[in-house]
Each structure stands twice: as structure tokens, then as C-alpha cells.
Amino acid sequence: MLAKTKGIVFRSLKYSESSLIVDIYTEELGLQSYIISGVRSKKSTVNASLLQVMSLLDLVVYNKKGKDLNRTKEVKPALVYRSIPFDIVKSSIGLFMVELARKTIKEAESNKELFEFLFNSFSMLDELEIGVRNFHLFFTVRLTAYLGFEPAKRSTTDEHYFDLMSGGFTTTKPAHFAYMEEKLADLMDLLQKKSFNEICAMKLDRQLKHVFLDKMMLFYQFHIENMATINSPDVLREVLND
């Protein structure tokens, strides 16, 4: 059975001398793995550059339920990035976004709202001219809504702490270690309530952003069972320190 769908490349692994196994998050079928043969041969009809991580694709695929590895019939670009491949900050943020999505999304079923959010996020990152260095924070907070554990919003101004375990603001310091203090809690509040254009215009302290991202990774680990370690924040921190 053939299916037509858009997709986002999450991972691409070498398989034999000329083939690849590619994990693609698709709009119609959820997370799927495809073997693409002969992609590195001279006669290949699929350009290997199309299968790089975070590529946005239009696909026609063979879909056999219960099969772990399917094949593709057609692979075309849905959007060709204009700036991400040539901008170290954007590409580092994009790789972080892919890793976070790959390690939190496991379902082989359609979730069109989640797919649209991811697809639009990569498109927006490519188009951004200002506010790029705040984009990963916005993405990390807003992704939680599509994964099912969106933080509760601050209800009163005297809620100065954010509890990572309960996922809500509190007026008293939690008795455990997993919380955000006032400045971090304020940033969480802003990222929840402000539009991205407003977030773009904000000048945020670099060290505050690094600590906030570390806290958000802990938040994810509390709310996603057996979540693997996210490695890209270390690289991202180096890039954003330049």
C-alpha cells in the first residue's frame, strides 16, 4: 500500500556501501524507518543531501503495517533551507530540536498537530533574522503541549518558584532539588505567555538561558519515562557562548 505524506528526517544511518536507513517523522504515519537503497551510487534517483537530519520532505512510501522497515517510492524536498546549513547558530539549534524530538516521540501513528508544530518550527528557524538565540527556549517550552505535559501557567504574582516535578508554579520553595528559582520561573512565565515576536525582541542573560535549558531537560526527564540523555545542549552552549 502506498501513502503520500510529508516528513522530517530525525536520523540517517549508513547501511551497506550505498544504502541508508532513515528515521522519518511523518505527518500521516508517525515515526517510521525506511531503507533507501543505492542512495550513494551514481545512478541514484534520490540525492543523499535530501536525507540529512532535519530535512523537510514530500514522500511517497510503501506502508505495510507491522513491518519495522519499509521503503520509499519518491523522495522530494518539501522545503529547501536557505540559511540553516550556512549558519552555525541556526544549525546547532536545529540539531538540538531534532534530538529533543527524536528522544521524546516514539509513536508510529499520526499526530498532525505535533507534526505541524515541528514542521513550522524548522521553517521559522530558517527564516528568522532576529531572536535566533532565544528560539530553542521557545521551542522547548511550547513542545511540551504537544507531548502531553504542558506546564501549568502562573496564576498569581507571588508564585516565585516553578516545581519541575509537579509542573506548576508555587509560592513556597519546594522541599526537593527539582525546581526553578525566581528568575528562571519568571522566564518560564514569559515563554508561556508571550508571542515569539515578543520573545525575539527580548535580551536575555546568556547564563540564565543555559541554566534554564538544563532545568527544562530535567523537567522532560521527570515527565517522559526512560527518556535518553539529550547530548546536544552541550554543543549548543559552546556555540551560543561565542
Cβ atoms of 54 and 94 within 8 Å: the answer is yes
Q: What is the mean pLDDT of the chain?
A: 92
* C-alpha R_g of the chain: 19
Task: Assess whether 75 and 107 both reside in one domain.
Answer: no
Identify the pLDDT of residue 201: 83
Task: Assess whether 69 and 32 both reside in one domain.
Answer: yes
Task: Assess whether 99 and 215 both reside in one domain.
Answer: yes
Q: What is the CATH number of the domain that holds 41?
A: 2.40.50.140
Task: Assess whether 161 and 204 both reside in one domain.
Answer: yes
Q: End of a domain among 55, 79, 103?
A: 79
Q: Identify which of 75, 71, 76, 187 has the alpha carbon closest to the alpha carbon of residue 136.
A: 187
Task: Assess whether 170 and 61 both reside in one domain.
Answer: no
- The answer to whether the pTM exceeds 0.85 is yes
Task: Assess whether 168 and 215 both reside in one domain.
Answer: yes
| pLDDT beyond 70 at 22 | yes
Place of cell 537503497: 37
How many whole angstroms separate alpha carbon 41 and alpha carbon 30?
A: 29
Which residues 6+ apart lie within 8 Å of 62 measured at CB?
1, 2, 3, 70, 71, 72, 73
Cβ atoms of 164 and 222 within 8 Å: the answer is yes
Task: Kindly state the average pLDDT of the residues 158-176.
Answer: 97
Task: Assess whether 104 and 217 both reside in one domain.
Answer: yes
- Segment 91-100, tens digit of pLDDT: 999 999 999 9
- Segment 51-62, tens digit of pLDDT: 999 999 999 999
Q: What is the CATH number of the domain that holds 111?
A: 1.20.1440.120
Secondary structure of the chain as H, E, C letters: CEEEEEEEEEEEEEECCCEEEEEEEECCCEEEEEEECCCCCCCCCCCHHHHCCCCEEEEEEECCCCCCCEEEEEEEEEECCCCHHHCHHHHHHHHHHHHHHHCCCCCCCCCHHHHHHHHHHHHHHHHCCCCHHHHHHHHHHHHHHHHCCCCCCCCCCCCCEEECCCCEEECCCCCCCCEECHHHHHHHHHHHHCCHHHHHCCCCCHHHHHHHHHHHHHHHHHHCCCCCCCCHHHHHHHHHCC
Domain carrying residue 11: 2-79
| pLDDT beyond 90 at 67 | no
Q: End of a domain among 34, 52, 79?
A: 79
Task: Assess whether 124 and 234 both reside in one domain.
Answer: yes
- Segment 135-149, tens digit of pLDDT: 999 999 999 999 999
Task: Assess whether 127 and 51 both reside in one domain.
Answer: no
Identify the pLDDT of residue 152: 96
Task: Assess whether 206 and 161 both reside in one domain.
Answer: yes
Q: End of a domain among 48, 79, 110?
A: 79
- Segment 71-88, tens digit of pLDDT: 999 999 999 999 999 999
Task: Kindly state the average pLDDT of the residues 6-28.
Answer: 92
| pLDDT beyond 80 at 66 | no
Q: Bigger pLDDT: 208 or 47?
A: 208
Identify the pLDDT of residue 40: 67
Identify the pLDDT of residue 108: 85
Q: Bigger pLDDT: 177 or 241?
A: 177
Identify the pLDDT of residue 43: 66
Cβ atoms of 57 and 78 within 8 Å: the answer is yes
* Total count of domains within the chain: 2
Task: Assess whether 200 and 103 both reside in one domain.
Answer: yes
Task: Assess whether 44 and 89 both reside in one domain.
Answer: no
| pLDDT beyond 70 at 46 | yes
